[in-house]
Amino acid sequence: MCGIFGYVGHDRNAADLVLRGLKKLEYRGYDSWGVAVGHRDQVVLEKRTGKIGDAVPDLPASAIGIGHTRWATHGGVTEHNAHPHLDCAGRLALIHNGIVSNYRELREPLVRSGHRFRSETDTEVVAHLIEECLAATPAGPEQLVTATMTAFRRLRGLNAIAVADVRTRQIAAAKSGSPLVLGWSDHGHLLASDFSALLEHTRRVTFVEDRQAVLLSRERCRVFDADTGRELTPAITEVEWEAAATELSGYPDYMTKEIHEQPAVLRRLAEAGGEHARRLAAMIRDAGDVFVIGCGTASHAALAAQYLLARIAGRRVTVASASEFPYLGDFVGEGALVVALSQSGETIDVIDAVRAARQRGARIAAMVNVEGSTLWRLADLTVPLGAGPERCVLATKSFTAKLAILLLTAYELADEAAAAATLIERAADEIERLLADDRRDLIRHVAEAIHTREHLFVIGRGPSYPLALEAALKVKEVSYIHAEGFAGGDLKHGVIALIEPGTPCLVLAPRDETYDDIMAGAMQVKARGAMLIGVSPEPHEAFDYHIPVADLGPATAILNAPPAQLLGYYLALLRGHDPDKPRNLAKSVTVK
């Protein structure tokens, strides 16, 4: 959560450059933002609440700047609490991602020695702490980074901090837990929470490791061990994503763009995902216990893995939400394999679970989208999702990409790899048709019919059960309609009490062995007045609306995702919400 961006170089338009970077990071948090630049050895600051939108900074020309987009943890959404935060002298501007868990005990002595605090945040304490450390550090080219490391060593929690000293025209940063990437460009040095924000300047990056510190100036970029102060040789990587992939390219928003990118992503995986699936299948074959974990949408993909691997390959795996996984830790040990699913590769609950499992002797495989992310670097085997940048806060193409790789892996385990690639190509064709033909209008029409309702239920059985959970999540997070997904068989064990005349119920009814039973459940809610929206190859007289999807056997799960993505999208528009940035959410959940 929170995006941080910094620049020092030759371009005197630092404020614009930083704000452009922040816009790319806004998916990490968007309740307020701020930019600071140096002018005549003083920090000049602009902070605002709300999304960045079309804001143009009103700041003087400067070749050094830092900025922040916030997802509030400590202190309400106000301009005072927005970052950057300053020291007392107005020489330092500080931005932060994470939580300083001991901020209270650090703050008291600072207040006693006269530091003036202007916000309620845990962050501001770091600005004043660095100010103190700076005063106690001998002057010289490394004074700022030395003071920053001294202060950083006193922080508890998982944090990334960056501080600009506008007098020396340097930026120092340090991290533990939260991501930080350096960019090496022709016109200067940059840092950001995510390398995709750097792509318009450079593809040459350094992923800062935990407990490292960095010092950026116009001329140099140096990396240090934050605990010993020893200078390290930075490892520079060339990332593959293109800057253009982060643009809207004519789509009205990222959600639409990313829904429409699914066929291309699936085709790429059908063609080139086989080798990764082979490696993952080999690891699963060699492992004792296999655990599949993820959070949110990724946990639904993990649940889908359980069905796909069991039904196609006869392989039993244990599935857990990554945030609950540590409590099952006793079962993880030598010989176990943890398969972690994550779009961002930065979700703290996933990272923590993986680290704990590794300490117990487990091997780690990761299905991850963001190149070079923490999970990507941690895993023994990384399976790239290859979905390209996903900017909308809702996961769409990364979800169907995970399903495709899981399908490839399950068929690989069953020694039928070629069958999976064909199915995925067919799924790509089907989704392309769905997005182009009159089913799109039909889904919009369904959204119009239900957009004023308070509740929506989704039911699915067997392999469609994880899809029911995912469909409900898509609808609720973007439309704010209360939506719940259920295993079809569970409906009459309580939930049916909530069905009233007109309550919309989405029924996932593929033509498989779940069909008769799911339709029986659907009829029971219909008998109590529910409005049925069938997602099925078969029409049925009980459906008030029928969204036809093809029958692709085990790959039907992939086809069942886009209708709910579109439904959520249209509901959001009809209810006047921004589909890319739903309230209270952030795409990369890097705090507990």
Bond preceding residue 234 cis, omega within 30 of 0 = no
Question: Cβ–Cβ contacts within 10 Å for residue 440, how many?
Answer: 15
Answer yes or no whether residue 395 interacts with ligand F6R by CB under 6 A: yes
- Smallest separation (angstroms) from ligand F6R to the CB of 197: 16
Strand pairing class (318-321; 290-294):
parallel
Region binding ligand F6R by CB under 6 A among candidate stretches 154-162, 242-250, 269-277, 296-304: 296-304
> Which residue number, 206 or 297, has a Cβ lying nearer to ligand F6R?
297
Counting every residue, how long is the chain? 592
Give the residue numbers annotated as catalytic, written as ranges.
2, 587
Best CA proximity match to 181, nearest among 216, 148, 146: 216
Amino acid at 139: A
- Smallest separation (angstroms) from ligand F6R to the CB of 378: 13
d(CA 75, CA 52): 20
C-alpha distance from residue 394 to each of 115, 216, 390, 399, 478 (Å): 41, 34, 9, 10, 8
- Smallest separation (angstroms) from ligand F6R to the CB of 425: 25
Tell me the site size for ligand F6R, rule CB under 6 A.
Answer: 14
Amino acid at 385: L
Answer yes or no whether residue 590 interacts with ligand F6R by CB under 6 A: no
Answer yes or no whether residue 394 interacts with ligand F6R by CB under 6 A: yes
Determine phi and psi for 318, rounding to 5 degrees. -100, 135
> Which residue number, 345 or 537, has a Cβ lying nearer to ligand F6R?
345
- Smallest separation (angstroms) from ligand F6R to the CB of 565: 9
Answer yes or no whether residue 386 interacts with ligand F6R by CB under 6 A: no
- Smallest separation (angstroms) from ligand F6R to the CB of 185: 27
Residues 25 and 3: beta-carbon distance below 8 Å: yes
Answer yes or no whether residue 3 interacts with ligand F6R by CB under 6 A: no
C-alpha angle with apex 571: 568 to 572, nearest 5 degrees?
85
Answer yes or no whether residue 148 interacts with ligand F6R by CB under 6 A: no
Window 462 to 481, contacts with ligand F6R (CB under 6 A): 473, 477
> Which residue number, 14 or 395, has a Cβ lying nearer to ligand F6R?
395
- Smallest separation (angstroms) from ligand F6R to the CB of 497: 27
C-alpha distance from residue 84 to each of 106, 190, 522 (Å): 19, 16, 53
Window 540 to 559, contacts with ligand F6R (CB under 6 A): none
Answer yes or no whether residue 428 interacts with ligand F6R by CB under 6 A: no
Region binding ligand F6R by CB under 6 A among candidate stretches 144-152, 206-214, 292-300, 566-574: 292-300
Residues 63 and 14: beta-carbon distance below 8 Å: yes
> Which residue number, 254 or 543, has a Cβ lying nearer to ligand F6R?
254
The residue from 73, 321, 342, 565 that contacts ligand F6R (CB under 6 A) is 342
Residues β-bridged to residue 86:
93
Answer yes or no whether residue 246 interacts with ligand F6R by CB under 6 A: no
Region binding ligand F6R by CB under 6 A among candidate stretches 13-21, 87-95, 289-297, 541-549: 289-297
Residues 155 and 102: beta-carbon distance below 8 Å: yes
- Smallest separation (angstroms) from ligand F6R to the CB of 395: 4
Instruction: State which residue has the least CB distance to ligand F6R.
Output: 296
Answer yes or no whether residue 458 interacts with ligand F6R by CB under 6 A: no
Residues 521 and 503: beta-carbon distance below 8 Å: no
The residue from 182, 215, 293, 298 that contacts ligand F6R (CB under 6 A) is 298
> Which residue number, 364 or 499, has a Cβ lying nearer to ligand F6R?
364
> Which residue number, 26 or 477, has a Cβ lying nearer to ligand F6R?
477
> Which residue number, 28 or 107, has a Cβ lying nearer to ligand F6R?
28
Answer yes or no whether residue 295 interacts with ligand F6R by CB under 6 A: yes
> Which residue number, 226 or 447, has a Cβ lying nearer to ligand F6R?
447
Region binding ligand F6R by CB under 6 A among candidate stretches 18-26, 341-349, 480-488, 573-581: 341-349
Strand pairing class (32-39; 64-70):
antiparallel
Answer yes or no whether residue 193 interacts with ligand F6R by CB under 6 A: no
| DSSP code per residue over 412-435 | HHTT-HHHHHHHHHHHHHHHHHHH
Q: DSSP 3-state assignment of 508?
A: strand
The residue from 69, 97, 176, 343 that contacts ligand F6R (CB under 6 A) is 343
Instruction: For residue 515, give the DSSP letter.
Output: H
Answer yes or no whether residue 190 interacts with ligand F6R by CB under 6 A: no
E strands, 440-550, in order:
455-460, 482-487, 504-508, 531-536, 545-548
Answer yes or no whether residue 379 interacts with ligand F6R by CB under 6 A: no
Residues 17 and 79: beta-carbon distance below 8 Å: no
What residues contact residue 569 under an 8 Å CB cut-off, 6+ apart? Answer: 255, 256, 259, 478, 579
Answer yes or no whether residue 69 interacts with ligand F6R by CB under 6 A: no
Answer yes or no whether residue 296 interacts with ligand F6R by CB under 6 A: yes
Residue 218 burial by Cβ neighbours in a 10 Å radius (0-12, 13-18, 19+)? middle
Q: Which residues bind ligand F6R (CB under 6 A)?
A: 295-298, 342-344, 347, 350, 394-395, 473, 477, 589
